Structure 1
Amino acid sequence: MIGVIGGSQAYDLLSSGRIAGKRLGSIQTPFGDSQPIIRVNCDSLEYIFLSRHGEAGYSISAPFVNYRANIWALKELGVERVIAWSGPGAINHNLRPGDFVVPDDLIDETRRRTYTFFEGKGVGFVRQNPVFCPQMTQVAVRAFERLGLSVNQGGTYVCTEGPRLETPAEIRKFRLYRADLVGMTLVPEVFLAKELEMCYLPICYVSNYAEGVREADFVSGELFEGLLSPDEKQAVQDAVVRFPEIIHEVVTLLANEERTCNCPHLMDRYRLRGDLSADWHEWIT
């Protein structure tokens, strides 16, 4: 089973019917309720969809998302692979609003999030190279090619705490790190998914220029207060409305691919040592 975590504007795709299915509602987990979940069936394909920031609108910002509940709920529903979309800002001058990116590395600049299911336990030393599932990355690139869409393969995503945007000095620092994108949602999502041996792939669309990348006057009452021109806003919107098509193509290709990556084996050491049982539910109770 494949799970899709929708990022910013996923709620718009739900309300417009571009993503539709059987509403399962929130799943009760040891960490509280997950975001509401929809089981999508389309052209004999099935996947689980969860809107990270809310079902009817942007009701919860990145620092306050219940990442553990969401990942636990997907695992409970049998999800083995997670496609997550995110709308970061561009640090790299070669990226423009509306561009698609499949990053391959991550820098964690968050501050107060819960990063693990294994609090107070001696497990969880999980390798982070590669950070994201390489098999899913290859499939996603093929999906973009089949759709005739351009995608930037590779790049480093910096995840900040939020909800505020970053300062120009912070962006200059991240540029010294050779980061390409700055967003707020991939951490701890990817780390939690890997602890439960789930494959995780982010597909990003550039939603704005990071602060200081380009001079922009303040415009009150608008998203990002003037960081986007009207044409750039349209490019971003055009990218968002392609996500149902992109997801469908990636899910179609993944349906014919057995998991040959290392993601299902990330916790083998702890099973062999006797720290973890065969039932993943017992790992985190």
Structure 2
Amino acid sequence: MTIHLRADRAVFRFSGPDAHKLLNDVVTGEIPATGSGDGEVAAAWALLSAQGKILAEGLAGHAEDAIWVDVHQSVADDFLKRMKMYRLRAQATIDDLRETHRVGFAQDEEPSGIRHTDRMGPIDMGYRTIAPVEATADWVQNDEFYHAERIGVGIAHQGNDFPANDAFAHDIGLDILDGIDFAKGCYVGQEVVSRMKHRGTARRRPVIVLGIEAPAGSAVIAGGREAGTIGQVVDGVAVAILRLDRISDPSAVTVDGKPVGVALPVWATYAFGESTPEE
């Protein structure tokens, strides 16, 4: 059994009679109301600003009469502050487990303890597991394997590929990857999400960029114009959130003045060269 530590993730536990309602009413995804933490699929979700930009995103899974959520460390303080504000008088407890628990990733076999299947749309990554710090001593203390796997299938992560308050939910494909519940009631930023869905105004989408010899944040140039920037680079590959309409010729894309390859994720329902109505 090999478990890779995801050191950049922060863990929060939501419990109490109103915990599910609290989360489900403010984030984009369909948060599970029940579960044992024995491998059920974790829900992908995002917490949005009123303008529809992603403030936090991650996975949520039910176990031990609570909902276990992970976010990138860079947004953990803001996420906790906002969720406490939304809690108001709800009967819900939010436990900050950053000092006591860690997030891990397993792929070769199902781990023991609290674990949820890390599946987004058709992409089954493996398992997200959460454990007390003292139980993680034998984990691989390096998350490069995890990031290589998710970059290879075009999954963009906040903090690694884009900052807070920069991307819309559609920009990272949450509408395709089951990270948006289009049937549930209102949540923060829902009007923007709904408008982008019905008007088809998503102009930026995740693209896999290969053969990179430049650092994260470098511009992707297509047709003489910047189409976006690359995210975290592992073994010369990165996910970039790019303007599809600016990539009319995928064979003529550069990063830092050098040619690179671009490919759409296998789950993509979009294409290079697509143009959409302006907002």
TM-score of the superposed pair, with normalisation by structure 1: 0.26
The one of the two structures with greater contact order (alpha-carbon pairs below 8 A, sep at least 6) is 1
More strand by share: 2
Larger helix fraction of residues: 1
